[in-house]
């Protein structure tokens, strides 16, 4: 559902004015569209639940027990604990905003503890599988030259798919190999792309017929979509006869894991990935530890 449709949907609830104000606030502080969509969806769901249970309830009278009842209802519908955690986070952010702007004086909701969700570790693809794709999935055709450049760039930089799609020629310094990526909240970071990836981009630019500002385009010069990028990766996997499933985000996970496996400091990886918080990056240390434990169990004589 688009943000516009979400806001129209929120007009049918009792506190639509406050939801719209919160939406505008999230826009002002540069939250991404996906983040805003998630927040508004969660808040609308919660407020509808409150309306259904207590139609006349005032905003300042909504309390933590209402949120707990809502979470129990969601859990009974099969909603995952990860989604429930997000529901709590969104609702608490909304009520903090209401307090900050003076709509209410306080709320017990901001003290609700998020449910502990299942910790899902990111899946990394072995280096050998990625090298197999980079060396065995492409021909000298114009499209394959472009597709090789795309996958090389994703693995060479750990870029998000949105950052790859939005990449422009002026963002690449071909002399130094440095690339400016625009990440979440429109924040820009400067990172190295590596000689291999930059070389593959040069190959693509040499053969494409059109000259738009966008780096990765269709043959007609249009900027590619996230779905097209996923299809390109899926086709490369099939051609290389690789068994593992892979997405742009899997390649990003693999980039981070392989860097840590080779001894790169976690703060450097944080900078390369564009994570605001180090705790977001620290999940990759769990991935590398899992792999170390697996290797230990497999090869050490006293492991079992």
Residues assigned a catalytic role: 160, 184, 249, 252, 275, 284
Distance CA 152, CA 150 (A): 5
In sequence order, the β-bridge partners of residue 223 are 217
From the centroid of its chain, how far is CA 183?
10
Helices (H), 54-182: 64-76, 81-100, 127-136, 142-157, 161-165
178 secondary structure, DSSP code: E
Q: Are strands 172-173 and 188-192 parallel, antiparallel or unpaired?
A: unpaired
Positions of E strands within the chain: 172-173, 178-182, 188-192
Q: What is the DSSP letter of 270?
A: H
Distance CA 122, CA 291 (A): 12
Burial code (b: 16+ CB inside 10 Å, e: under 16) for 279-291 equals: eebeebeebbeee
Q: Is the dihedral of CA 14, 16, 21, 25 positive or negative?
A: positive
> Hey, CA dihedral for 225, 230, 232, 235, is it positive or negative?
negative
């Amino acid at each position: 559902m688009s943000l516009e449709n979400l806001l129209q949907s929120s007009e049918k609830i009792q506190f639509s004015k406050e939801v719209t104000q919160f939406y505008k606030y999230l826009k002002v502080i540069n939250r991404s569209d996906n983040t805003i969509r998630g927040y508004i969806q969660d808040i609308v769901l919660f407020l509808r639940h409150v309306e259904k249970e207590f139609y006349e309830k005032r905003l300042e009278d909504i309390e933590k027990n209402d949120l707990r009842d809502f979470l129990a209802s969601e859990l009974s519908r099969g909603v995952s604990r990860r989604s429930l955690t997000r529901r709590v986070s969104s609702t608490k952010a909304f009520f903090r905003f209401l307090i900050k702007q003076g709509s209410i004086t306080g709320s017990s909701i901001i003290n609700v503890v998020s449910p502990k969700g299942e910790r899902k570790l990111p899946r990394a693809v072995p280096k050998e599988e990625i090298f197999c794709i980079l060396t065995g999935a492409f021909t000298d055709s114009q499209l394959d030259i472009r597709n090789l450049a795309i996958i090389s760039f994703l693995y060479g930089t750990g870029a998000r798919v949105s950052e790859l799609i939005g990449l422009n020629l002026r963002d690449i310094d071909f002399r130094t190999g440095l690339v400016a990526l625009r990440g979440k909240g429109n924040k820009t970071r400067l990172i190295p792309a590596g000689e291999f990836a930059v070389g593959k981009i040069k190959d693509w630019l040499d053969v494409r017929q059109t000259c738009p500002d966008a780096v990765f385009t269709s043959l007609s010069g249009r900027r590619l979509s996230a779905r097209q990028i996923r299809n390109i990766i899926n086709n490369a996997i099939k051609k290389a006869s690789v068994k593992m499933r892979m997405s742009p985000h899997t390649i990003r996970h693999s980039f981070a894991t392989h860097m840590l496996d080779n001894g790169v400091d976690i703060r450097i990886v944080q900078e390369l990935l564009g994570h605001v918080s180090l705790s977001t990056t620290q999940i990759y240390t769990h991935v590398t530890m899992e792999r170390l434990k697996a290797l230990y169990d497999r090869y050490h004589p006293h492991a079992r």
